Amino acid sequence: MKYIVLLLALWLPAAAQAKEPVKDQQKEDSTWLAQNYTKKEIYIPMRDGARLYTAIYAPKSTTTQHPILITRTPYSIAPYGEDKLKQVWRSYHMAYYKKEYIMVYQDVRGRMMSEGEFMDVRPFNVDKKGTTIDEASDTYDLIDWLVKNVPNNNGRAGIFGISYPGFYATMGALSGHPALKASSPQAPVTEWFLGDDFHHNGAFMQLDAFGFYSSFGKPRPKPTTSFAGGFQTKVRDNYKFHLEAGTLRNLAKLMGDSITFWKELYDHPNYDEWWQVRNVRNHVQHIPSNTATLVVGGLFDAEDCFGAWELYKAIEKKTPNNNKLVMGPWSHGGWGRGTGEFLGNVRFGSKTSTWYQENIEIPYFEHHLRGVGDLNKLPEASIFLTGTNTWRTFDKWPPAQAQNKKIYLQENGSLSATEPANTTGYKEYTSDPSKPVPYTEDVHAGRTAEYMTDDQRFAWRRPDVLSFTSKTLQNDLTVTGPVIANLFTSISTSDADFVVKLIDVFPDDFSYTDSVDGIGNGKNYPMGGYQMLVRSEIMRGRYRNSFTYPEAFKPGRVTEVSYQLPDVAHVFKKGHKLMIQIQSTWFPLADRNPQQFVNIYTCGEEDFVSSLIRIYTNSRYPSNIELPVLAD
């Protein structure tokens, strides 16, 4: 989850670059919307008496009954005022209006114009009684009111949303209302300690968390239509700003005392019960069998890649409902804006977002909410394989045909399917928290989305990054599923982080032959030898055995650190090479580990020390990466 501006942009696909005919069409569509829809803004009461502010866009047509499609959001249902309409004609959501859906938008409890108290990722309460509430009950009460009070509805409702609204779509699926036939959590917030947004495997995602909560987290003493501003700095280089801020203790001083969730993050450094009850996957068994789910995510989603993959898997494991998965080559919410033809310098060969909208999402809701179309044509998993840039369908995910194969790190910096023969080999580097490895080469004020496919040659040149490279591939290598890093390491201190990156090295003579509008610097970027980041993930070493009970390292002792990277769907093509990079800082994307076993949220600058990191590459300690290789 990034800054508020970007999150709101999910509703406003870029039209600034539109050509005149497109503008003319938008003007025509905006006129059509005003002529054919009526907007009402009302407070809808919840079971505990709190009233939630809701905008209802209803077709003027009374000749038929209409399905209801809901979005619940903490980011505002603006524009406010019954005479002001959402600019949906700038997005594919216009298709739902043309099909005469009743479109409903609600400010969640305690946000913007709604009453009540807001709680971040409010836990699901399976034992609700009487006036007890959670986000599932608020959704239930909303749907119940809509089907009983909105004229000409057909008694069928759906809910969808991207990012935090994706979390509310999951909560909607848990509501159990009989009228809710379909839910689509998209890039859903699912687990904020293990993999989404603000922590990855216990490491604090400092850049996103500070940029987001300095605005979003500010208290709202009374209903408002305005957002609070974020932290203002004259330093437009996030690496410099966060390095000069120093410790998380100092960053907390900049944040101030008013932001409740920021303090809660600091108060719960480990995966305790406070975090565990906020793990949505613990509750998906309560999704009714008659509520279908369509989980959607991006292969290169910097915010909630974990959530999409893992929510789908949890529903598959625990719930006998109709559950589908779609993963495309998108950044956060990229399927809802733009065309999805490229990300950063990497191109995908087709309008992937448009294809998804027209072939999956709209038919999905048409079937479940209107009974139109044959949903048997929608496969269990629709996955875009980057590299070959093709959509593939699977009857389960990960695919049953995928077999884990270990690729071993070799002392000479190579990769091989053969276990090392030497008995004493290792590679080493010094991790200096005063000079952390940046997560991207360029200077930026905010966090980029494109870093997920960035060229890693800048890191390959650094002495504190280990790189292991395969020989030129003689055949395509298709990787489909979670990647597992099995590292044997010794460190000279009592704690350290480990960042593993899976990289596709393009041939030296590679270049794109086509031209793509809007690709920015990618049009002329030197793609020969490009080191495309396919997947990366960090692991805070103290959590190697338990996220709840951290353990210090014993300096100099060889220790195994194994962890899972989010799923991959990529083809390393013939003529390319496979590369693994390992480092211990990833700044300021993730906070710096002081590399001592101290409380990182409260420690001082004097606690940050350098650590000598060894990664073993021998027969006794054979560090390796497990790749789920698809056997076609």
- Map 47-109 to HEC letters: CCCCEEEEEEEEECCCCCCEEEEEEEECCCCCCCCCCCCCCHHHCCCHHHHHCCCEEEEEECC
Give the amino acid at 388.
T
| 372 and 427 fall within a common domain | no
Return the H-helix or E-strand segment holding 254: helix 248-255
Q: Phi and psi dihedrals of 107, rounded to 5?
A: -70, 125
Closest by CA to 245, choosing from 608, 554, 584, 507, is 608
pLDDT, residue 513, reads 80
| 101 and 56 fall within a common domain | yes
For the chain, the domain total comes to: 2
| 85 and 171 fall within a common domain | yes
Closest by CA to 269, choosing from 608, 606, 602, is 602
Q: How far is CA 550 from CA 180, 276, 503, in A?
A: 42, 16, 30
Answer for the pair 148, 177: CB distance below 8 angstroms, yes or no.
no
Q: What's the rounded Cα separation, in Å, for the pair 56 and 33?
A: 13
| 138 and 186 fall within a common domain | yes
SS3 assignment, position 597: coil
565 forms beta bridges with 483
In a domain, 268, yes or no: no
Query: What letter would DSSP give residue 455?
Result: B
Half-sphere exposure of 381 (CA within 13 A, CB side): 21
Closest by CA to 567, choosing from 320, 298, 291, is 298
∠ CA 239-245-248 to the nearest 5 degrees?
Answer: 105
Answer for the pair 65, 160: CB distance below 8 angstroms, yes or no.
no
In the chain, count of helices (H) and strands (E)? 14, 25
| 106 and 26 fall within a common domain | yes
pLDDT, residue 17, reads 36
In a domain, 515, yes or no: yes
| 514 and 384 fall within a common domain | no
| 34 and 104 fall within a common domain | yes
Residue 606 CB neighbour total at 10 angstroms: 8
**Which runs of E-coded beta strand occur in 146-288?**
153-162, 180-186, 199-200, 203-204
Would strands 477-491 and 559-572 be described as parallel, antiparallel, or unpaired? antiparallel
Tokens found for residue 461: 């040149």
Give the amino acid at 383.
I
State how far Cα 110 lies from the chain centre. 24
Would strands 153-162 and 180-186 be described as parallel, antiparallel, or unpaired? parallel
Q: What's the rounded Cα separation, in Å, for the pair 611 and 438?
A: 17
Biggest CA–CA distance in the chain, Å, is 79
> Containing domain of residue 312, as a range?
4-191+278-394
SS3 assignment, position 625: strand
112: alpha, beta or left? (left if phi > 0; alpha if psi -120 to 50): left
Return the H-helix or E-strand segment holding 563: strand 559-572
Q: pTM of whole model > 0.85?
A: yes
Tokens found for residue 27: 């003007």
Query: What letter would DSSP give residue 227?
Result: P
In a domain, 221, yes or no: no
Closest by CA to 477, choosing from 327, 627, 347, is 627
Give the amino acid at 415.
L
In a domain, 252, yes or no: no
In a domain, 137, yes or no: yes
312 forms beta bridges with none
In a domain, 365, yes or no: yes
| 421 and 373 fall within a common domain | no
Give pLDDT < 70 ranges for the chain.
Answer: 1-22, 514-523
Half-sphere exposure of 475 (CA within 13 A, CB side): 7
Closest by CA to 277, choosing from 436, 387, 411, 119, is 119
CATH number of the domain bearing residue 496: 2.60.120.260
Closest by CA to 173, choosing from 68, 290, 275, is 290
Domain boundary among 354, 375, 394: 394
Q: What's the rounded Cα separation, in Å, for the pair 217 and 74?
A: 11
Half-sphere exposure of 383 (CA within 13 A, CB side): 26
pLDDT, residue 15, reads 36
Q: What's the rounded Cα separation, in Å, for the pair 303 and 166?
A: 12
Residue 578 CB neighbour total at 10 angstroms: 22
Tokens found for residue 145: 């009111």
Answer for the pair 566, 479: CB distance below 8 angstroms, yes or no.
no
Q: What's the rounded Cα separation, in Å, for the pair 21 and 225?
A: 33
394 forms beta bridges with 381
Q: What's the rounded Cα separation, in Å, for the pair 615 and 78?
A: 52
Q: What is the pLDDT of residues 505-516, one digit of tens each?
A: 999 999 998 666
In a domain, 615, yes or no: yes
∠ CA 331-335-336 to the nearest 5 degrees?
Answer: 110
| 388 and 407 fall within a common domain | no
483 forms beta bridges with 565
| 289 and 422 fall within a common domain | no
Domain boundary among 394, 410, 434: 394
Answer for the pair 94, 88: CB distance below 8 angstroms, yes or no.
yes
Domain boundary among 394, 415, 444: 394
CATH number of the domain bearing residue 153: 3.40.50.1820
In a domain, 571, yes or no: yes
Q: What's the rounded Cα separation, in Å, for the pair 430 and 421?
A: 26
- 456-465 burial, b if ≥16 CB within 10 A, otherwise e? beebbeeebb
| 178 and 326 fall within a common domain | yes
434: alpha, beta or left? (left if phi > 0; alpha if psi -120 to 50): alpha
| 307 and 340 fall within a common domain | yes
Tokens found for residue 150: 């909105």
pLDDT, residue 517, reads 60
Closest by CA to 588, choosing from 208, 23, 27, is 208
